[in-house]
Amino acid sequence: MKKISLLLMTLILIFELSCSNAGNQTHYLSHSRYTDPKEYGWMLDELPSDVTGICEIVKQQIVHHNLLPYHNVPSNKWEKMPRGWPPVMTDLLKALKEIEPYNVYEYRPVEKRIIGSCSVESRFLAGLLRYRNIPARYRAGYFKNTMGNVEHIIRFWENVSRGKGVERELMEEDPAAWKDTMNAITMRGQIEADKHIEHWICEYWDKNEKRWRSLMPIILF
């Protein structure tokens, strides 16, 4: 089932890329199966009309799975948090409706947000923007020069692994050996292979400047 979902997402992305020139921005007002709120549209009737206000709403609904340690959410709470996969708007809104504060407008503590990723965030944001008749599209690509700061990369993944309890037993028995193990994983998977990390963003059509503008960096934290 997951393979089918990934295939559909890929086909949708290819189709949208074929319509990506500035003259086709009206195409991006139409909802896809991922962005259409359907019967949960009533939850969005009080959305702000400005892009910044919509971004503020989005960043309070979803937390990236790698940022749970950053927000100091205890690992024993992770399993109780809903996960936004596949990133279908109706499923996301249904989950938010069932968790206090039961809407998308009031402040939502991190442990009451949906666990997601950049892929989930970009689709959710695109759906809200389109609901307010703002052309929006999501884009996939790869970070360049991710190994420019090796120590930062190693430190980041160590912190993520520590927060997620990777090799917890080794970490408790021999912290030095655990650190060596994490460094070996990071070196092999991220640096020696020069891994290019996949990333999804959301863009909206700025009618004043007549160009597409990226929004994803606004909502990561």
What's the rounded Cα separation, in Å, for the pair 131 and 40?
12
* pTM, 2 dp: 0.73
Tens of pLDDT, residue by residue, the chain (221 residues): 545 555 555 555 555 554 555 556 788 999 999 999 999 999 999 999 999 999 999 989 999 888 888 788 888 888 899 999 999 999 999 999 999 999 999 999 999 999 999 899 999 999 999 999 999 999 888 766 666 666 776 777 777 777 777 777 777 788 888 877 777 766 655 555 555 667 888 999 998 998 999 886 444 44
Q: Which domain holds residue 187?
A: 150-192
Beta strands in 5-108 (DSSP E): 62-64
The owner of tokens 């999501």 is: 138
* Residue 117 shares a structural domain with residue 155: no
* Residue 129 shares a structural domain with residue 24: yes
* Residue 100 shares a structural domain with residue 181: no
* Residue 68 shares a structural domain with residue 156: no
Domain count, the chain: 2
CATH number for the domain including 119? 3.10.620
* Residue 156 shares a structural domain with residue 89: no
* Residue 120 shares a structural domain with residue 166: no
* Residue 182 shares a structural domain with residue 205: no
Per-residue buried b or exposed e for 180-215, using 16+ beta carbons within 10 Å of the residue's own CB: ebbeebbeeebeeeeeeeebbbbbbbeeeeeebeeb
* Residue 101 shares a structural domain with residue 158: no
